[in-house]
A and B are shown apart, each in its own frame.
Chain A
Amino acid sequence: MKKLYKRISIMMLAVFVFTFLAAGCSGEEEVHNKKTLRVGVVKYIEQDDYINALTDCLRGDFEKMEKSYGLHIVVTVKNGAGKQAIQDKVVEEMIDAGCDILCVDLVDRTAPTKIINMARKNNIPVIFFNRELVREDLMQWEKLYYVGGDAAASGIMQGELAAGDIQSDAKADRNRDGRIQYVVLEGETGHQDAILRTDEAVGTLTAKGVKLDKIRYEIADWSKDQARNKMSQLIRQHHAQIELVLANNDAMALGAREAYEQSGLEKKDYPKIYGIDGLKDGLKAVASGELQGTVYNDKEGQAQQMALLSMALYRNETLKNFSFHDRKYLLLPYQKVDGEEAVKRVHLKNFSK
């Protein structure tokens, strides 16, 4: 009897092993091509000047790496058209077509689960960037990372720049009421960086002793056009009352400036306007005095960290040379840019045109 059990067991085991292997073989095994590293970059939207500049830097970094690592690197850049469901689908298609590393700027920072699950199932590391996801999500799997700036620091620096200018310029308080009437142009509702930049900029001004009167917080979706339209409305309502504009990025700061130029107000009635990002147009505007300051978001540094981390993950190398915060975060510092600093940067980068 015992022998019979043994035989049946062996037969069943053989059937089990065969079925298991067959099932495994019928699945789509990833063909890992050693000659080519495929990087999939998925932006949240097509048109964002900062993200596009960062993506260009990333392409440039990978191009340099091709030579130094003797590897062919293909960087495919797609976007989620501003909808998380579309971004999830784009990531799914990228994985389906063959991808070694994913770099994702989430549409909705609170909804990365589908992307994480797909990446995990296919063992593809994900480097999230620009929009910081919730810590618990980032900790779900060891191959998830975040590269970005310290958003709070950018707000503090913007506040410091504005406070310094206001306190050293008696004309900043044009109506001489001892208070500064201000407007904030915010990136978008619920965006971690937008919230932190606004809170910290206003908080820093207050902490520095600048008395503030809020006129309005307007959401302008990081867009120059939207900022110009919203600022034009505010100018029609408040005329020359606005003394300070804090924008969450340069594009919106430039939009605000354009609204003033189109308003017919005299230049002496323009407010002080500050941005964040330090892109070409922002730096040129600060250098020429159209904007009073910006905070440089280190796109080159972020792109470089993303490229180096991608390569290390692809080659399964140690990550001990990376300066992680909390094992997962690579946060690059911001830099204050006033008029003098902007002139230097414009000259250095040859932005004469």
Chain B
Amino acid sequence: MEKPSRAIFITVELILAIFTATMAVKISTDEIPQRKVAVIVEDSGNSKWDSYVKGLKDAAKANNLHLVICNTDKGLNPEEEKELMEEQESKGVSGFILQQAQGSGGQVILDSFHEPILLNFCRLTDPPMKKTYPLIAPDNEKLGEKLGECIVEGYNGKLEGRRVGVVCAASSPKVMMQRQKGLQRVLEKAGGKIAWTLYREDDTGISDAVRSRSGVSAIAVLDTESLEEMADAAAAHDVHGAVVYGIGASIKTVYSLENESIAGLVTADLYDMGYRSVTAMAQYLSGSKKALKDQSIEIISPKKNELFSEKYQTFLATMER
């Protein structure tokens, strides 16, 4: 009777020992310290983020960070952003890189998290403000100014008496306001005048509204998606002969400049914004507490005949996936 029980005992112990060893290995491999950083931007699958996301990923790889780009839809609000942040917090995220969601209460929500937060694109402040979060973004007013300069240059500096229509995204009022401010300053200085401003909603587009307006020499477009739509309208000769200029950051807007659907393009180096943001976060998490600070992103205004020159090769390469 004793022999079979010993054999069973040894077999069982052997199996348990193998299991224990396997699980111990699993625990040790799971605990390789790779810090996790979550990124939240609205409509995260949109191609307008391609170069930004490429910058984030390249920097994450260089800094051995695990990057989580949260799945989002259009029209992100502060409550949804909070939900995503809580979910990622529960998964052990060490820091956040955010596009601050539009809507009230956003600042209070951010204040409730203990992880470091870095903002991209724009800082939306709403009282009561306990903290100011660092921002890495293009200067939106300068983007508007640059677009204005582009239009003035397109008319050889002679904008006297010319009317300009403005198209912008309804979803980012603060950013649009800043860009329009810069644009208006330059246009008025050159003698031009903003005749109308239209706000594009994601679900309805803006072509029909623009079709119903006329009497402008140029249309200044202040965001990527509106610019893509207006470039299509211009290609279809559906803008009453107005010349389209715009701020955009997608490969489609570059094609539009190349095929002359638009006459001028102003863009920010979003790859650089993504890269610098992750690098700053990685440095902060490694103990460099001053790494998270405001930084401004370079603004570019490529000309059609320079698009494929050496000067813009890197910029174009970051837009391709």
Interface residues of A, Cβ cutoff 8 Å to B: 1-2, 5, 8-9, 12-13, 15-16, 19-20, 22-23, 26-28, 31, 33, 35-36, 38, 40-41, 46, 59, 72, 74-79, 81, 86, 93-94, 96-99, 353
Q: Which of B42-85 contact A (CB under 8 A)?
A: 43-45, 47, 68-73, 80, 83
In the complex, how many residues of chain B place their beta carbon closer than 8 angstroms to a beta carbon of chain A?
33
**Given contacts A12-B13, A74-B80, A76-B73, A86 and B321 within 8 Å (CB-CB):** yes
Beta-carbon contact of B27 and A353 below 8 Å: no
How far is A79 from B46 in the complex, measured between Cα atoms in Å?
Answer: 9
Of A15, A41, A79, A81, which is within 8 A of B20 by CB?
A: A15
Beta-carbon contact of A26 and B45 below 8 Å: no
* Residue B23 at the chain A interface, CB threshold 8 Å: yes
Closest to A56 in B: B203
Between-chain CB contacts (< 8 Å), 12 pairs? A2-B5, A8-B13, A16-B23, A19-B27, A27-B30, A31-B90, A72-B80, A74-B72, A78-B44, A78-B45, A79-B47, A98-B70
Of B30, B71, B83, B208, which is within 8 A of A97 by CB?
A: B71
Interface residues of B, Cβ cutoff 8 Å to A: 2, 5-6, 9, 12-13, 16-17, 19-20, 23-24, 26-27, 30-31, 43-45, 47, 68-73, 80, 83, 87, 90-91, 208, 321
**Given contacts A23-B26, A26-B27, A12 and B17 within 8 Å (CB-CB):** yes
**Given contacts A9-B12, A97-B71, A23 and B27 within 8 Å (CB-CB):** yes
Closest to A82 in B: B321
Beta-carbon contact of A22 and B23 below 8 Å: yes
**Given contacts A9-B9, A23-B23, A27-B30, A96 and B68 within 8 Å (CB-CB):** yes
Beta-carbon contact of B16 and A13 below 8 Å: yes
Contacts of A20 in B (CB 8 A): 19, 23
Contacts of B71 in A (CB 8 A): 38, 40, 74, 76, 94, 97-99
Contacts of A15 in B (CB 8 A): 16, 20
Closest to B10 in A: A5
Contacts of A36 in B (CB 8 A): 83
Most chain B beta carbons < 10 A, residue from A38, A76, A81: A76
Contacts of B24 in A (CB 8 A): 19
Beta-carbon contact of B73 and A9 below 8 Å: no
Contacts of A33 in B (CB 8 A): 83, 87
Contacts of B45 in A (CB 8 A): 41, 76-79
Contacts of B5 in A (CB 8 A): 2, 5
Contacts of A77 in B (CB 8 A): 45
Tell me the smallest distance from the CB of B278 to a CB of chain A, in Å: 15
Contacts of A94 in B (CB 8 A): 71
How far is A93 from B19 in the complex, measured between Cα atoms in Å?
Answer: 30
Beta-carbon contact of B31 and A81 below 8 Å: no
Beta-carbon contact of B20 and A16 below 8 Å: yes
Contacts of B321 in A (CB 8 A): 81, 86
**Given contacts A23-B23, A26-B27, A31-B87, A12 and B72 within 8 Å (CB-CB):** no
